[in-house]
Chains A and B, each alone.
Chain A
Amino acid sequence: KAGVTQTPRYLIKTRGQQVTLSCSPISGHRSVSWYQQTPGQGLQFLFEYFSETQRNKGNFPGRFSGRQFSNSRSEMNVSTLELGDSALYLCASSLAGRQDLDEQFFGPGTRLTVL
């Protein structure tokens, strides 16, 4: 089976722009979670989607949004980019959708740099 894929792998944007990141989970996985990783804050949970519904949400401003499609692929969008949004954005998928029970399979991440 192919692993979790994320596109693009690297992205450079300027302040005020918006960005859309894409995640394709492992075939058959219905849960997709997004994380932001920075040196200062570590790995922080953004949100989780299961069967096209947002099931969990972290403590991020409304500029961060996401969605999941019927084929379980997910996108996250960040509007009005700020310098502090520079980070590695990781996507993870799991089979049944219980993060505490299921192994999370992570993608390689998208490195976003905001100038």
Chain B
Amino acid sequence: SQQGEEDPQALSIQEGENATMNCSYKTSINNLQWYRQNSGRGLVHLILIRSNEREKHSGRLRVTLDTSKKSSSLLITASRAADTASYFCGNSGGSNYKLTFGKGTLLTVNP
């Protein structure tokens, strides 16, 4: 199974601080995507990083990928209360291209 694992399971920080979440996966991947989910709602795509990329930025988001360690990290800088959500990484590999998600990191940003 390629199911990934997000770490930590839960993270609580103060507004303005940075938040770092990690994701590990088991087999080689084609690429990896990060999604956000507000409580009980659908997921929203944040960023996609390809297996040949090491770092990618989008606004306050920075994603890194280390294929040798089979891990990725999502950094949210200058967090806001509105960033409170669960964050998931989805990875895909092999020939069937389907995305496999971990159980997510619940981020709480306290105002």
Contact = CB atoms under 8 A, between A and B. Distances in A.
Interface of A: 4, 33, 35, 41-45, 48, 56, 58, 88, 90, 92, 98-101, 103-109, 111
Given A45-B98, A45-B100, A56-B97, A103 B41 contact: no
23 contacts: A41-B103, A42-B101, A42-B102, A42-B103, A43-B102, A43-B103, A43-B104, A45-B99, A45-B100, A90-B43, A92-B42, A99-B99, A100-B30, A100-B92, A100-B97, A103-B33, A104-B33, A104-B90, A104-B99, A105-B45, A106-B35, A106-B44, A109-B40
Contacts of B43: 43, 90, 92, 104, 106
B40 to A, nearest CB: 7
Interface in B28-51: 29-31, 33, 35, 40-45, 48
Contacts of A99: 92, 97-99
B37 to A, nearest CB: 8
B96 interface: yes
B42 A107 contact: yes
A109 B33 CA distance: 20
B21 to A, nearest CB: 15
Contacts of A103: 33, 45, 48
Contacts, number: 68
Chain B interface size band reads 20 to 34
Nearest to B51: A100
Contacts of A44: 101
A4 B31 CA distance: 24
A47 to B, nearest CB: 9
Contacts of A56: 96-98
A4 B42 CA distance: 10
Given A92-B42, A103-B45, A106-B44, 13 more contacts: A33-B99, A35-B101, A43-B88, A43-B101, A43-B104, A56-B96, A58-B98, A90-B42, A100-B92, A101-B30, A104-B33, A107-B42, A109-B42
